[in-house]
Structure 1
Amino acid sequence: MEDIGLLLIRLVIGLTFVGHGAQKLFGWFGGPGLTGTGEWLESIGIKPGGKIWAIVAGTFELVGGILFLIGFWIPVGASLIGLIMLDAILTVHGPNGFWAVNNGFEYNLVLIAIVVGIAFTGPGGYVLFK
């Protein structure tokens, strides 16, 4: 049952981050793509090079999500996801306080705790590669 629980966590978190990365990099799932993400990053003060940081953020989310999803190189995938969530706290959500209802960092912190926890416990028995 533990393996099923870990798989469920990895599927939800991994697929979510694959989707977020695809939104930023390719404009899939209603996302803004590289140009839109880069422009938004520059609008919040990440200048110059908003498009470069959009590539970095999207790649961290996409690759981190894939690794987390398949249970391969979990520490690397968790680190990529954790770093992008820490960046979201520092650049966007932190000034708004803790609670998500105020656009705070509550959700980002929960995601960091999940990926770090899985990195420490391991991916479970249901993985694509061993």
Structure 2
Amino acid sequence: MIDHRTAPYAALALRVALGLLFLAHAGLKIFVFTPAGAAQFFASLGLPPVLAYITMTWEVAGGLALILGILPRLVALGLVPVMLGAIVTVHGPAGFWFTNPNGGWEYPAFWTLALLVQAGLGAGAFALKPTLGRAPADGAAFA
């Protein structure tokens, strides 16, 4: 049973937490590793260096969109490939534990699941542009 009184606020909390995590990870790439350093790291993985810039841009844009509640279902789904890419290229080969060198895959896998849950839940409370389409018939704030 879903508590329709609190669920919109739970979805809000998840949405904001996910957005802040993406901003933090983008900030790590931008301010600590530097964009050029992130591009070099991507190249060392056999990926095109430009993909680092695309990833950083999408992490910032996606993080802000989640926090503000701008099409969060679509944004959450759009960020899943970023997380899957991180699992396949860096964290998966490192094993399960995130304390392993290069971090394991359990944290990005959980993060991916949280994005899918957000996409399923919808925007929750206080979203600027919650979703495409019509509002729920029961008047709940899940859009």
* TM-score bucket (shorter structure): 0.7 to 0.9
TM-score of the two chains, using structure 2 as the length reference: 0.76
Greater fraction of residues in helix: 1
Quick one: distance in 2 between partners of 1:35 and 1:100? 25
**Which digits, 9 at most, give the CA deviation of each residue in 1:66-120, with x for residues without a partner?**
2221222123211232111100001001112222233211000111111111101
Match of residue 9, structure 1, among 14, 32, 35: 14
Contact 1:93 1:104 (8 Å CA) reproduced:
yes
Quick one: distance in 2 between partners of 1:112 and 1:68? 14
Gaps of 5+ in 2: 1-5, 131-143
- Radius of gyration: which is bigger? 2
Gaps of 5+ in 1: none
What pairs with 1:1-130 in structure 2 (closer than 5 Å)? 1-24=6-29, 27-28=30-31, 31-46=32-47, 49-50=48-49, 52-102=50-100, 103-130=103-130
> What SS does the corresponding residue of 2:73 show, helix, strand or coil?
helix
| Residues 54, 17 of structure 1: alpha-carbon distance in 2 compared, 3 angstrom cutoff | same
Quick one: distance in 1 between partners of 2:54 and 2:82? 9
Aligned-residue identity in percent: 30
**Which digits, 9 at most, give the CA deviation of each residue in 1:9-46, with x for residues without a partner?**
1112101212322443xx33xx2222111111112332
Contact 1:63 1:77 (8 Å CA) reproduced:
no
